[in-house]
Amino acid sequence: MEKKEKRNNLRILHYAFLLMGILLSAGCSGEDATSSAERLIVYDWSMADLPDFHSKFLEKYPNTPPKIVYLAEDVEAYGKIKAGFAFDIVHPCTQFFQLYVENGLILPLDTSRIERWNDLEPSFADMGNINGKQYVMPYDWGYESIVVRTDKVKEIPDSWEDLWDPQYKGHVSLIDAADPAQVFTSLILGFDPWNTTSEQDEEIQAKLSELKDNIFTYWTDFNEIQQLIASGDSWISANVWPETYAMLNNKGLPVKYITPKEGMIGWMCGYAISSKTKNLDMAYDYLNALLDPTSHAAYGNMGAGVSSKAALSLMDQEQVKLMNLDQLDLQNRTVFYKSWTEEQRKKFTERWNQFKAAP
């Protein structure tokens, strides 16, 4: 907990120093690498914007820091960009890579311009390769699995199917999202989550309906699920990220993060460049700053896995071990999200809404 508080304090200081720099630079004269009219627009998650994470970019462009526009979720970001939102760089996750490419929203990357490209874990780089071209630079990743309050249950689950076990009636919490439900229900039924038939879709719907009695609630954010587990209301919590487990474990709570026999579910997100950018050189400078090992490790220490092997070696190794971020064999036993089609996304969302609305 002390480490988390220190990081939060540093975050406040970083913002204060950044604001001071912007104010000071507004009154400065002299040469810069670019004009203020060419300020880079980065559409990013709120936890990815600290100056430490792109410090090399700030050194090169001291008077024009990037303009960070926050995205709340992938669905929102994709819809906003498709509707015409202007950006230079975006930070999507794997479920949306194909959609960005199919709609011509991002450029193929020239990996020769990314200085630390060879530091990247090849399996993650492959996820950003669409139709034989590299469109996404992998950056962060993590697991989704089940957190168990070991003092509340007689048996520790070892499968996603244990979410249906009657002994957990009224004490299972699910993330309020359609994608995870499609994946873990498909896995226990032996289906390929991304290629289900209409008959299999009916089986998935029927199987999900049997889970209703076990549901305590649906959670939506990092703080909410922590509170649910810490209070003891949620005995079995699904699709939880490892940083949540790490924080609860550090508080001394009796929790276990399991590896289901069907495999954990994995997510990976990365950076892509707008097909309409007018700041291509700056965009590559920003990507290079992100992959600087020290900067990338600083991001990882906030609670995520990193795609760079060089950055991984610089991270807090106690955290790396606790969250299994160095276990490539575990990655091989993980089912990573893939891109959905527009039709699939609509279908899964409708199914999920029907499931939640059912008595």
pLDDT at 22: 37
With cut-offs at 50, 70 and 90, classify the pLDDT of residue 7: very low
With cut-offs at 50, 70 and 90, classify the pLDDT of residue 242: confident
Element (H, E) at 129: strand 129-130
List b or e across 77-94, with b for residues whose CB sees 16 or more CB atoms inside 10 angstroms.
bbeebeeebebbbbbbbb
- Rounded CA-CA distance 24/263 in Å is 51
Average pLDDT, the chain: 88
In the chain, what are the domains?
2-139+268-336 (3.40.190.10), 142-265+343-357 (3.40.190.10)
Query: pLDDT digit string (tens) for 339-358?
Result: 888 899 889 999 999 999 98
Query: pLDDT digit string (tens) for 82-131?
Result: 999 999 999 999 999 999 999 999 999 999 999 999 999 999 999 999 99
Provide CB contacts within 8 A for 56, sequence distance 6+.
285, 288, 289, 292, 295
pLDDT at 224: 93
Average pLDDT on 173-189 reads 95
Dihedral sign from CA coordinates of 183, 189, 190, 196: negative
- Rounded CA-CA distance 305/177 in Å is 22
Which of 74 and 8 is assigned the larger pLDDT?
A: 74
pTM of the model: 0.81
